[in-house]
Chain A
Amino acid sequence: MTQQIPLLARYAESLFWMARYMERLENLARLVDVTQTFESPGLENEAWDSLIRIYANETHFAETHDGLEPDAVKRYYVLERQNPNSIISSIEAARMNARTLRPLISTEMWKHLNVFHRDLLQIAEHELQGDNLSRLCSRIKEGVQAHTGITEGTLFRDQGWHFYEMGRLIERADQTTRLLDIKFHRMLPKGSEDRRHEERTQWGGVLRAVAGYHAFRRIAPVEFLPQHVAGFLLTDPCFPRSVLLCLSQTEWHLTQLRTSYGLRGTRTALEQIEDMRAALLDRSAEQIISIGLHDFLDGMQRDLIGLAASVGDAFFRDWKPSLQQAQSQSQSTAQP
């Protein structure tokens, strides 16, 4: 056993969620960016429509907006507070958690997050327009990456760090399944060579959005097929955003909590990971696609929610949130 400094259950929960919200907002920036690149002339609405479907926000969006305007969708995911999963809502929630964690996290983490929050509050409408949007997405991505780097270099690595990392990894796996789904929504019917070329360009876009393009190029066949990309994003053992890698790392953190800190209650979560790994590896990507990738990804997302719930039940169980906290945390669990 290493150090036995107790960790408040509430802190563990806040670390988990702070990391999730930061990861979520980075991925949102990636998804918005890639959606923009899928806009084909005349079909702009369809590209943005698939983003809404990926997040299962069809009903909420329709209730709060008049029509499906690309600009409205961009605003919805970047600026609107009524969308609990927007970039602005995510940074608010991340900062709220960071605020409760101020006694624990490094001053540098807090300062950066505080300044980043202030920066995001000042995003102007015109930054969502045209080529500005991609620049904005880069800025947001880099802001989260700075957070990640500061955390890597400054956060004390006792049990709190494991909860932080697990939150990040579970969110990342979830977001990778969504990104993959978004592309399959937009999959063009099989057709001519032109079509296939267009197809490959779009897959390239997906891979670029997760910074996996060049690595994929190194390991995939020259004439790659959709299942190669799906396999890469789901099960590549080296790609930092693959679902399998995220799960393996989560497993390692759970094991650390058990062996180094004597925390009981990791068993359910570890079994869930084992099941998910089996689901990912028992079939080839080609088989998964032929059975139905969307349903498979849907199932993965449900399993990840189940995994987060097990971690919560095991370690945050005693913590009864007050009213205000319940609101902020239910936003997170209200995630589709």
Chain B
Amino acid sequence: MNAEVVKIPEDLFLDCEPGPYVSELATDRPGDNGAAQIVRDRLSAIGLDGLRARAKAAENDLMSLGVTFTVYSDATAIDRILPFDCIPRIITAAEWRKLETGVQQRVAAINAFLHDIYHDRKILRDGIVPAELVLGNANYRPEMENFPVRFGTYVHICGIDIIRDQFGDFRVLEDNARTPSGVSYVVENRHLMRRAFPDLLAGMSLMPVDDYGRRLREALTEIAPEGVDDPQVVLLSPGIYNSAYFEHVFLAREMGVPLVEGPDLVVEDDRVFMKTTAGLRAVHSIYRRLGDDFLDPTVFRPESLLGVPGLIRAWRKGNVALANAVGTGVADDKAVYAYMPRIIKYYLDQDPILANVETNICREAEGLAYTLDNLDQLVTKPVGESGGYGITIGPRATREELEASRAALIANPSNWISQPVIGLSVCPTLTDDGIRQRHLDLRPFAVTGRSTWVLPGGLSRVALKAGSLIVNSSQGGGSKDTWVLAEESRR
């Protein structure tokens, strides 16, 4: 027998102090049964060079597979991958139960709210939410008034952005109730990890993520018009030039349904058909990845070529289901968000399981005054934007940026909210300098037909720049695989 020298791998996590933040992998917490420690040890055993080589190979793989989004500049289309960080983020079973029920509660409240504002408007009459905030909202759709949707479900697909604060509590940062994206990366990231890091996953008992397509198909089948036996479900995409086209392809494949574009569909006698080689075939349920404005040029933007003339009429006749329903944008408005704890209480008579981030509404005099007085301490956000645009982080802003923000606030206070700076949790991340802590958030995805199902985990978006709090892919963010531990008793 050869006497082998056992080389003790260098601990890659020595230079990885989380500072004042909670670390999703470095801070030991109850219920993980040592999973975080095992992952750290295994990563150290692979070593920095090994990690880098595998990360590189994994990114090449994503490129070849076309797991990409497309960026257009001039006449050229460039395929980019969403940067993938190979160090996973761990969520314990107990943490997940709380997140899951919290998301379900939130979705229930959002649907109840949408039903109410498009019918009796009790919540407005009771003065819980200011009427003008809803009725004057750019995303409020009069077409929806008194229109019934099956099971009272307006938001069939919901993505809720959640952060963990310095005390370890999960808080909702934003609701996405229109056409949230990113779920394809949740599934693809797991596949990638299984290919590239089987040794890291060995023996880990994780909740599976590959059920999403089936659940989505099921929900879309449930919401189809009554009396249709085997409804034809389709995914309506703006087409190959859309930056999220890969996700549309992914979802159509996972559901096993055709991916259609507007010109593939036609409305005759208020019924929707798709154009096939054998002529027209009826369509009953549409998962649309087009914004409200683009759905039907006869109702919304007349110049849009992406939609289907007559679609809204067919829908209002009850001949086709749309997911999500039209007019859900009024519920994920950043100003309405501030009222969400009260909305939950109002409809469900429950306290929110997941707290909001404390929010000052600048349309209200008090909120505006407080925001202007504390501009250098607060994060200011425009209510209508997504993708991390227009945000000013007070403590990190220059004097000029603060003045610009002040001017914008005064010019149009209703367009703004402000929030305290939250110390987003961090997670060890592979960087050029070695493994370092980076801030991240979590976007779980909920699918609702008759009832709400939440995909275990969700998209963990990580800010790849040191210290950055902005995780959006359009602003240099990447993503991680999110591991929900299956049981507390086992790994």
Known: A320-B263, A322-B263. A103 touches B253 (CB 8 A): yes
Give Cα distance in the complex from A264 to B277, angstroms: 9
Asked whether any CB of chain A lies closer than 8 Å to the CB of B161, the reply is no
Give Cα distance in the complex from A262 to B277, angstroms: 10
Asked whether any CB of chain B lies closer than 8 Å to the CB of A58, the reply is no
A263 touches B64 (CB 8 A): no
Q: Which of A102, A262, A324 contacts B66 (CB 8 A)?
A: A102
What residue of chain B has the Cβ atom nearest to residue A108's Cβ? B65
Binary contact readout B218-247 vs A (1 if CB under 8 angstroms, 0 otherwise): 000000000000001000000111000110
Give Cα distance in the complex from A11 to B278, angstroms: 12
Q: Which of B64, B249, B278, B281 contacts A103 (CB 8 A)?
A: B249
Asked whether any CB of chain B lies closer than 8 Å to the CB of A115, the reply is yes
Q: Which of A7, A12, A99, A319 contacts B263 (CB 8 A)?
A: A319
Give Cα distance in the complex from A43 to B473, angstroms: 57
Binary contact readout A1-26 vs B (1 if CB under 8 angstroms, 0 otherwise): 00000111111100000000000000
- Which residues in B have their C-beta under 8 angstroms from that of A335? none
Q: Which of A248-303 contact B (CB under 8 A)?
A: 257, 261-264
Q: Which of A103, A163, A263 contacts B258 (CB 8 A)?
A: A103
Give Cα distance in the complex from A263 to B274, angstroms: 16
Give Cα distance in the complex from A318 to B293, angstroms: 25
- Which residues in B have their C-beta under 8 angstroms from that of A111? 64-66
What residue of chain A has the Cβ atom nearest to residue B234's Cβ? A8
B66 touches A322 (CB 8 A): no
Asked whether any CB of chain B lies closer than 8 Å to the CB of A27, the reply is no
- Which residues in B have their C-beta under 8 angstroms from that of A163? 277
A263 touches B277 (CB 8 A): yes
What residue of chain B has the Cβ atom nearest to residue A264's Cβ? B278
A319 touches B65 (CB 8 A): no
Q: What secondary structure prevails in chain A residues at the interface with B?
A: helix
For the complex formed, measure the closest distance between the CB of A102 and the CB atoms of chain B, giving whole angstroms.
4
Binary contact readout A118-162 vs B (1 if CB under 8 angstroms, 0 otherwise): 000000000000000000000000000000000000000001000
Asked whether any CB of chain B lies closer than 8 Å to the CB of A107, the reply is yes
Asked whether any CB of chain B lies closer than 8 Å to the CB of A210, the reply is no
Give Cα distance in the complex from A163 to B241, angstroms: 24
B280 touches A318 (CB 8 A): yes
Known: A114-B64, A323-B305. A6 touches B276 (CB 8 A): yes
B276 touches A8 (CB 8 A): yes
- Which residues in B have their C-beta under 8 angstroms from that of A319? 263-264, 275
Give Cα distance in the complex from A320 to B308, angstroms: 12
Known: A102-B66, A107-B65. A322 touches B276 (CB 8 A): no
B260 touches A102 (CB 8 A): no
Asked whether any CB of chain B lies closer than 8 Å to the CB of A321, the reply is yes
For the complex formed, measure the closest distance between the CB of B262 and the CB atoms of chain A, giving whole angstroms.
8
A6 touches B278 (CB 8 A): yes
- Which residues in B have their C-beta under 8 angstroms from that of A264? 278
B259 touches A103 (CB 8 A): yes
Binary contact readout B252-287 vs A (1 if CB under 8 angstroms, 0 otherwise): 110000111111101000000011111111000000
What residue of chain A has the Cβ atom nearest to residue B258's Cβ? A8
What residue of chain B has the Cβ atom nearest to residue A323's Cβ? B305
Give Cα distance in the complex from A39 to B276, angstroms: 49
Asked whether any CB of chain B lies closer than 8 Å to the CB of A232, the reply is no
Q: Which of B239, B246, B262, B277 contacts A315 (CB 8 A)?
A: B277
Give Cα distance in the complex from A264 to B276, angstroms: 12
A263 touches B240 (CB 8 A): no
For the complex formed, measure the closest distance between the CB of A157 and the CB atoms of chain B, giving whole angstroms.
15
Residues of B within 8 A of A (CB): 64-66, 232, 239-241, 245-246, 249, 252-253, 258-264, 266, 274-281, 305
Q: Can you list 12 A-B contacts with CB-CB less than 8 angstroms, sorted by A residue number? A: A9-B275, A10-B263, A10-B264, A103-B258, A103-B259, A107-B65, A111-B64, A111-B65, A316-B277, A319-B275, A322-B261, A323-B305
Given contacts A261-B277, A323-B305, 5 further A-B contacts (CB under 8 A): A7-B278, A100-B239, A102-B253, A111-B65, A263-B278
* Minimum-distance CB pairs A-B, first 6: A318-B275, A6-B276, A103-B259, A103-B252, A102-B249, A315-B277
